[in-house]
Amino acid sequence: MMNKEQKKLYIKDMASKFDTTEAVIVTHYQGLTVTQLDDLRKKMREHGIKFKITNNRITKLALEKTKCKELSELFSGPTAVALSEDAITSAKILTKFSKENENLKILGGIMGTDILDVAGVKNVATLPSLEEARAKIVGILRSPAQKIASILLAPASKIAILALEKSKK
């Protein structure tokens, strides 16, 4: 049980996290074992994501003056939040984990200023990660450069072949 001072600190801490974090995803974890929760937290930590079990009443107080205040209706029952700077990675991890463990239920979230429902979170999970997107862009940019180089080199090679044929005569 928290005393009054601890509650104030919790509210202040959570409010600052909600305001400064790029993505917040709200879940229900009822039915997950401690081992499963530890496994999920470990996966999240590897990507710099905080997965925190919340005290709903106090968390709703923390949400009141933040950009995430619309999420307060999701806080009922055994609730946990994923706080991340990378919405895509956190959505991917939670979606994959919820497929493997039906006791983890994704309720919704927020990405930047956009409120996401369950379908929205699952759609975000299908997007390419930042690294995947960078690799695709590099591939797209590299492809025309290779074509231009081959086009520019082709006439020179044809001229060289013609010159070689002329020199043989």
Q: What does 118-145 look like in DSSP terms, one character per residue?
A: HHHHHHHHHSPPHHHHHHHHHHHHHHHH
CATH architecture of 4-127: 2-Layer Sandwich (3.30)
**Residue 3: pLDDT band with limits 50, 70, 90:** confident
The pLDDT assigned to 146 comes to 67
pLDDT in tens, 29-50: 998 899 999 999 999 999 899 9
Q: Facing residues of 79 across strands?
A: 28
What value does the mean pLDDT take over residues 6-16? 88
Portion of the chain with pLDDT greater than 70, in percent: 86
The pLDDT assigned to 131 comes to 77
What residues does each domain of the chain span?
Answer: 4-127, 128-169
